[in-house]
Structure 1
Amino acid sequence: MSLTVGIDSGSTATKGVLLEGNTLVRRFLCPTPFRPAQAIEQAWRELSEGLTERPFLTLTGYGRQLVDFADKQVTEISCHGLGARLLMADTRTVIDIGGQDSKVIQLDEEGNLTDFLMNDKCAAGTGRFLDVISRTLGASVEQLDALVTGVEPHAITSMCTVFAESEVISLRSAGIAPDAILAGVINAMARRSANFISRLTSQGPVLFTGGVSHCHTFTQMLSAHLGAEVQTHPDAQFAGAIGAALIGQRQRRR
């Protein structure tokens, strides 16, 4: 079985995988730097290091056109559906929340793309929004579950990044506990995401991918607002890269 590499050059994180069949042989993850091409080059070096033959390389994501050594470039919508099906074979709806956009993808029973929605015009409801608000309260995204588990969310009225940051500062000055504010922000994000998702007739099973999917509290709140179970996977952040590598496999077979 030939090895293929998929690299997803995202706005905030660069993800990559080395795939053999349906097995993830290697993974790569780093923050996307000011020059995204540098992270793509680093991912390619690390994922292909020591191999006796050159893997087929497929690029996806915002930075997919920034280097000239890829064998194929594809849009992330195609990749996320394929990657999600490898992680959870019966997936029918993919919810992806990344650094600067969110998308919902519908698949048929065979895993073919049937419809999608994408929001890349507003930072609200994205990983960037969550990161900005967390830092305003002196926390990191990685700490959120530990901080907000079992905490009653305080109501957040604004979902514009600029106004929400001001509201959070005002709430903190009024003596509202930071963990209650953080829980409120996550709840407001989950509610907004559920409203966005409901614009498509989503079917289960639902897989949540992207960096925000690592936040267990967000996943629980999203399930509650959707009224349906939302599942995730330890490799959910790599769904786009996995899909790119799978497309590389198909291309190589041809």
Structure 2
Amino acid sequence: MDYIGIDIGSTAAKVVARGDHELEFALPTGWSSKETARTIAGRLREDGIDVSRETAKVVATGYGRVAVDYADYVITEITCHARGGREMGSDDCAVIDVGGQDTKVILISRGVVQDFLMNDKCSAGTGKFLEIMANRLGVDLGELFDMAEKGETLAISSLCTVFAESEVINYIGEGRRREDIAAGVVDSVAAKVAQLAMRKELPDQIILTGGLSSSRYFTKILSQKIGKTVSPTDYGRYAGALGAALLAREKTMRAAAKNR
């Protein structure tokens, strides 16, 4: 049996398989979540997993979860990210997920979600804002972090992506160093994520998931803002998909136990 977790986010789709096959992959979501879901099914078929057969159980989550018409279960992002984060962290931890369009803070106690927060849709404290700013500076995300580490932070105070981008454009027009602008951009996002997280009492273990989760520099800045260590996770971008795959297995096993 294969247990498949599909997390279709606003910018990227992540897939994790556990069971007879062990794999994971990511691809851009593109303009159509339905088209992405079909592409994922084809890619899985190439790897020996046929989602139309009884030998595969699928849980879909994320922004485009309803587009996965072959899913056996559709589960919210909070539940799936909590399950994946618990696997990477512990039964008592906080998961901070910085996604393309939103940021989530999930508090887990004794393996169960106790509370969660999400940012406003228009907030600039997301991964997409970093991508936009990196493009403005003519670099990729990794290069943005490298530059930021060498720069002196310039203040970027706007809460809205459009106005924050205007601030960056003004700095560029003034001839400010790219390193300093990059430092300001990263500091701005980290500050907004920290403000959200600090609205709750955070446990000692805090892990970062999402597209920024492998950045040691971002987690260092975020840790400074929060006043507690935030741990990066190399596998963190797959947290939602991993949680979905684990939940697919758990739900299947519970259903089988009931039918005995």
Q: TM-score of the superposition, structure 1-length normalised?
A: 0.92
Alignment partners' CA distance in 2, 1:13 and 1:129? 15
Matched residue, 2:225:
225
For residues 156 and 63 of structure 1, the distance between their equivalents in structure 2, rounded to whole angstroms, comes to: 31
* Equivalent-residue separation in structure 2 for 1:46 and 1:181 (angstroms): 40
Aligned to 1:79: 80
Which residue does 1:50 correspond to in 2? 48
Give the C-alpha shift of residue 51 in structure 1: 4.2
Q: Please identify runs of 4+ aligned residues in structure 1 that moved more than 4 A.
A: none
Q: Which runs of 5+ in 1 are unaligned?
A: none
Match of 2:62 in 1: 61
Q: Report the equivalent of 1:4.
A: 3
Alignment length (residue pairs) = 250
8 A contact 2:148–2:186 mirrored in 1: no
Q: Counterpart amino acid of 2:153?
A: P
Q: Does the CA contact (< 8 Å) of 2:124 and 2:164 recur in 1?
A: no
Task: Report how far residue 200 of structure 1 moved.
Answer: 1.2
Inter-partner Cα distance in structure 2 for 1:143 and 1:44: 33
Match of 2:241 in 1: 241
Instruction: For residues 55-110 of structure 1, give each alpha carbon's deviation from its aligned partner in whole angstroms, at most 9, with x where no partner exists.
Output: 211100111111321111000000011101212235510000100001100010x2
Q: How does 1:108-127 map to 2 (within 5 A)?
A: 108=109, 110-127=110-127
- Secondary structure, aligned partner of 1:56: strand
C-alpha distance in structure 2 between counterparts of 1:68 and 1:31, whole Å: 19
Cα deviation, residue 123, structure 1: 3.7
Aligned to 2:158: 158
RMSD, aligned CA: 1.8
Alignment of 1:96-245 (within 5 A): 96-108=97-109, 110-245=110-245
User: Is 1:35 aligned to 2:36, yes or no?
Assistant: no
Shift of 1:253: 0.3
- Percent identity over the alignment is 40
Match of 2:89 in 1: 88
Task: Give distance in 2, aligned partners of 1:11 and 1:91.
Answer: 28
Report Cα offsets for 1:192-225 as digits up to 9, x if no partner.
1111101111112001001122332211100000
Shift of 1:165: 1.3
CA contact (8 A) 2:79 2:113 kept: yes
